Amino acid sequence: MTSIALDDTISLGDRTVRRLGFGAMRITGEGIWGPPKDHDEAVAVLRRAVELGINLIDTADSYGPDVSENLIAEALFPYPNDLVIATKGGLLRPGPGRWDEDGRPEHLREACEGSLRRLKLDRIFLYQFHRPDPSVPFEESVGALAELQLEGKIAHVGLSNVTVDELRRAQGIVPIVSVQNRYNIVERDDEDVLEACEGDGLAFIPWFPLKTGQLAKDGGAAAEVAKAHDAAPAQVALAWLLAHSRAVLPIPGTSSVAHLEENVAAAGLRLTDDEVQRLDRAR
């Protein structure tokens, strides 16, 4: 299994990371609730990700809740020197299937403190506001993260699930180093956010990067390109993201070592210009 090319990197704040991370949402139980069905496999996935050269792991306190962060610490602490752990706060999980916004400054402070304890960190490298809360002024939520940064509890601030307008408003309060929005080969509504990140030198972290929809079916563009490379359509979807913009930093997640290795192999898949253009047109 080939690891990620060492020269395929992106700046994230004051660090450089490889341009394929690992999203640690799927190492929890069904519905992102409770412990994983196979605890040992979840630990093995995290350790294998690092062995393969991944040095960015993305998580959130709401994954489990708390389960993902606890597993990361169990599997990887003490952490390799080059490993960047990013987490998020701003969502509550009152039960399976529930994702409720809570952007109150007091909650974000409590969430950050909890993540620090679970991850066994003195400072979180990248702390992301998980989703704007319509009941709390956006500036108050972002202001709380600015305060946590001043206190040294987080090094860098990121946003998730935001518009260009919200990005600009946040940038007026605190430096932003990344945006994590839903984006993939078939869902590109946030192209304007990606373009804003490109212009500002920010990392754009697409979540749900493996979605291929109709493109993976017989005759679909992803299926046809995959056939030419003896690859899976999901690998083509990842390769397209990496080719589409140098600002893109995908974080595909899985609970399987075999699937992890398949995802990592996509980093070495080189699409031709014609293939990229074909996939650009296909949705």
| Confidence label for 7 from pLDDT (cuts 50, 70 and 90) | low
pLDDT reading at 214 higher than 80: yes
User: 129, 87 in Cβ contact below 8 A?
Assistant: no
* Candidate list 63, 79, 127, 183, residue with the active-site label: 63
Runs of H (alpha helix) within the chain: 39-51, 67-76, 105-119, 138-150, 164-171, 191-200, 221-229, 233-244, 257-265, 273-281
Helix/strand/coil for 97: coil
User: 23, 253 in Cβ contact below 8 A?
Assistant: yes
pLDDT tens digits, 229-245: 999 999 999 999 999 99
Neighbours of 80 (CB within 10 A): 9
Measure the CA–CA gap between 58 and 45, rounded to whole angstroms: 14
pTM of this structure: 0.96
pLDDT tens digits, 92-144: 999 999 999 999 999 999 999 999 999 999 999 999 999 999 999 999 999 99
| Confidence label for 2 from pLDDT (cuts 50, 70 and 90) | very low
The pLDDT of residue 119 is 98
| Confidence label for 148 from pLDDT (cuts 50, 70 and 90) | very high
The pLDDT of residue 157 is 98
Task: Measure the CA angle with vertex 179, ends 51 and 206; round to 5°.
Answer: 55
Size of the chain, expressed as the number of residues it contains: 283
14-42 burial, b at 16+ Cβ within 10 Å, e below that, comes to: ebebbbbbbbbbbbbbeebbeebeeeebb
Is 79 considered catalytic here? no
- Percent pLDDT > 90 in the chain is 96
Domain 9-211+247-271: CATH superfamily, name plus number: NADP-dependent oxidoreductase domain (3.20.20.100)
pLDDT tens digits, 23-56: 999 999 999 999 999 999 999 999 999 999 999 9
The pLDDT of residue 204 is 98
The pLDDT of residue 6 is 41
User: Would you list the domain boundaries of the chain?
Assistant: 9-211+247-271
pLDDT tens digits, 170-183: 999 999 999 999 99
